[in-house]
């Protein structure tokens, strides 16, 4: 009965109720979205690379090495020499080694020089290997294997030619217009920066920086089926897989103390944690701002109810006259607040679910962000529980006011 009165009372003040509800819907949606994106971003962040024991590059901060080698964010400070790469590759503790060379781009997408170890050993997510959707790995000097996002956005097919630019800008004045790279493979989507990358051979990347006549000579050698011999100066970084995890710290120390060339070896998991601490402050800030917005919306709800308490003194008097205890008055105001807040939370949950349902594809296509639509989970229920708890506390102000008013005024008749 009280529930029915509360519902009809809310319906009686529909405009004010709808505006308040809209405000709560927006703030709860924001809170749910930020929390979901935070969790998904952390998951997505952690699934970018898997199965790599060490990342080695020129001396810099470990976050910087992780950012440019794994996320293709920022620029390397220096290269590691080819001799050092070979020295590491020959170590008995090293099971496999993937060289990567960065610096060039194609229409805003990073070009990464590597070898076929990349396609054999690089893993992401839960040790998932890279899978070719079409074509082959790097079989020749000027072959290119492109990520799924590159293929989709640039509408590239097998056999299309790629023209590389120096640097990262989408429009570059320094183009290697004579570099004759051809798309030979397209990777399945991974939800990692791999999707946004154009993979070429180290030799091809090195050759792209040579003069037009030198490139023509290389192409001639390829056509003639001759062995193409291109010297590689160095690499940007290396991903290393070990035979035994027991050797991890020993090898890391050995690389960091390598006398012939200064190098930095980092453990991806440790670097991820350090980097996430920086990102974590931002996400906490976002969460805090969302909570503040929610708090202000709930204060709006409290204010709306408080202003109606005075207007509703006759209603309270009638309820008291027919035998309702003052606690019923308290309960009625609380119930109205809780109903409004719960309706708003459920609508917000549905809206966020729909948003991720339809927005997930766009996010993966545009930004390579793979967001799982697992919003209807315990975490969301916990957030709605917290919102309800906060609503109860804030609604205590108008509810107590109504309770006290009903005791003080008794049965007013005018």
Partner 1 sequence: MTTQRWSIEFDNVTFGYPSPRPSNLGEAQGLTIDIKKWQVEENQTVFISGQSGSGKSTLLNLICGTLQPSSGSISILGQAFSALSESKRDRFRAEHIGVVFQQFNLIPYLSVKQNIELAAYFGKGLKVATTETIINICQQLNLPSTLLQAPASQLSVGQQQRVAIARALINQPELLIVDEPTSALDSSARDSFMQLLMDSAKRYQFTLLFVSHDLSLADYFEQHIKLADINQAGEISE
Residues that bind partner 1 (CB under 8 A): 1, 4-5, 8-9, 11-12, 313-315, 317-326, 328, 407-414
- Give the separation between CA 309 and CA 307, rounded to whole angstroms: 6
Residue 129, φ and ψ in degrees, nearest 5: -80, 165
The answer to whether 166 touches 215, Cβ cutoff 8 Å, is no
Nearer to partner 1 among residue 10 and residue 205 (C-beta): 10
Residue 20 Cβ vs partner 1, minimum distance, rounded to whole Å: 17
For residue 220, the tally of other CB atoms under 10 A from its CB is 11
Residue 326 Cβ vs partner 1, minimum distance, rounded to whole Å: 8
Nearer to partner 1 among residue 220 and residue 325 (C-beta): 325
The answer to whether 111 touches 198, Cβ cutoff 8 Å, is yes
| Residue positions counted in the chain | 414
For residue 411, the tally of other CB atoms under 10 A from its CB is 10
Helix or strand holding residue 264 (H, E): strand 264-266
Residue 322 Cβ vs partner 1, minimum distance, rounded to whole Å: 4
The answer to whether 89 touches 97, Cβ cutoff 8 Å, is yes
Nearer to partner 1 among residue 2 and residue 26 (C-beta): 2
* Structure token digits, residue 237: 């970084």
Residue 394 Cβ vs partner 1, minimum distance, rounded to whole Å: 24
Residue 401 Cβ vs partner 1, minimum distance, rounded to whole Å: 13
For the chain, state the CA radius of gyration. Answer: 31
* Structure token digits, residue 76: 């390397």
Nearer to partner 1 among residue 21 and residue 187 (C-beta): 21
- Give the separation between CA 240 and CA 247, rounded to whole angstroms: 12
Complete DSSP assignment for 127-192: TEEP-EEEE-S--STTEEEE-HHHHHHHT--TT-EEEEEESS-SS-SSEEEEEEEEEEEEEPP-SS
Residue 2 Cβ vs partner 1, minimum distance, rounded to whole Å: 9
The answer to whether 222 touches 141, Cβ cutoff 8 Å, is yes
DSSP β-bridge partners for residue 186: 134, 146
The answer to whether 77 touches 59, Cβ cutoff 8 Å, is yes
Nearer to partner 1 among residue 393 and residue 411 (C-beta): 411
Nearer to partner 1 among residue 22 and residue 321 (C-beta): 321
Residue 275 Cβ vs partner 1, minimum distance, rounded to whole Å: 57
* Structure token digits, residue 60: 């810099």
Residue 332 Cβ vs partner 1, minimum distance, rounded to whole Å: 11
Nearer to partner 1 among residue 322 and residue 378 (C-beta): 322
Return the ∠ at Cα 59 (arms to 56 and 63), rounded to 5°.
Answer: 75
For residue 174, the tally of other CB atoms under 10 A from its CB is 11
Residue 367 Cβ vs partner 1, minimum distance, rounded to whole Å: 49
Nearer to partner 1 among residue 14 and residue 270 (C-beta): 14
Residue 377 Cβ vs partner 1, minimum distance, rounded to whole Å: 38
Nearer to partner 1 among residue 104 and residue 336 (C-beta): 336
Nearer to partner 1 among residue 139 and residue 407 (C-beta): 407
Angle between helices 326-367 and 268-311 (to 10 degrees): 140
């Amino acid at each position: 009965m009280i529930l029915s009165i509360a519902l009809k009372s809310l319906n009686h003040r529909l405009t004010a109720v709808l505006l308040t509800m809209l405000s709560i819907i927006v703030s709860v949606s924001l809170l749910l979205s930020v929390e979901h994106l935070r969790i998904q971003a952390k998951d997505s962040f952690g699934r970018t690379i898997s199965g790599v024991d060490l990342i080695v590059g020129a001396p810099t901060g470990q976050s910087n090495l992780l950012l440019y080698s794994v996320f293709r964010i920022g620029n390397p400070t220096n290269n590691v020499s080819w001799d050092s790469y070979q020295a590491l590759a020959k170590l008995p503790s090293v099971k496999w080694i993937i060289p990567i060379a960065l610096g060039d781009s194609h229409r805003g997408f990073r070009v990464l020089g590597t070898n076929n170890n990349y396609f054999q050993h690089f893993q992401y997510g839960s040790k998932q290997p890279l899978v070719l959707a079409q074509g082959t790995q790097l079989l020749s000097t000027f072959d290119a294997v492109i990520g799924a996002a590159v293929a989709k956005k640039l509408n590239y097919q097998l056999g299309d030619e790629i023209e590389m630019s120096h640097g990262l800008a989408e429009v570059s004045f320094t183009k290697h217009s004579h570099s004759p790279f051809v798309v030979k493979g397209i990777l399945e989507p991974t939800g990692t920066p791999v999707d946004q990358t154009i993979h070429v051979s180290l030799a091809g990347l090195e050759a792209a920086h040579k003069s037009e006549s030198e490139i023509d000579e290389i192409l001639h050698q390829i056509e003639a089926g001759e062995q193409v011999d291109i010297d590689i100066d160095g690499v940007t970084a290396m991903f290393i897989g070990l035979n035994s995890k027991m050797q991890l710290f020993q090898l890391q120390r050995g690389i960091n103390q390598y006398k012939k060339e200064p190098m930095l070896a980092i453990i991806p998991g440790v670097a991820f944690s350090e980097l996430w601490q920086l990102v974590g402050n931002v996400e906490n800030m976002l969460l805090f701002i969302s909570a503040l917005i929610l708090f202000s919306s709930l204060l709006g709800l409290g204010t709306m109810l408080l202003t109606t308490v005075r207007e509703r003194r006759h209603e309270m008097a009638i309820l008291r006259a027919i035998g309702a205890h003052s606690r019923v008055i308290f309960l009625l105001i609380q119930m109205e607040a809780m109903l409004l807040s719960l309706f708003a939370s459920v609508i917000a949950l549905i809206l966020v679910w729909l948003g991720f349902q339809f927005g997930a594809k766009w996010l993966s296509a545009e930004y390579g962000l793979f967001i799982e639509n697992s919003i209807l989970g315990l975490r969301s229920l916990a957030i709605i529980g917290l919102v309800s708890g906060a609503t109860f506390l804030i609604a205590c102000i108008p509810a107590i006011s109504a309770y006290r008013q009903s005791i003080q005024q008794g049965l007013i008749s005018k």
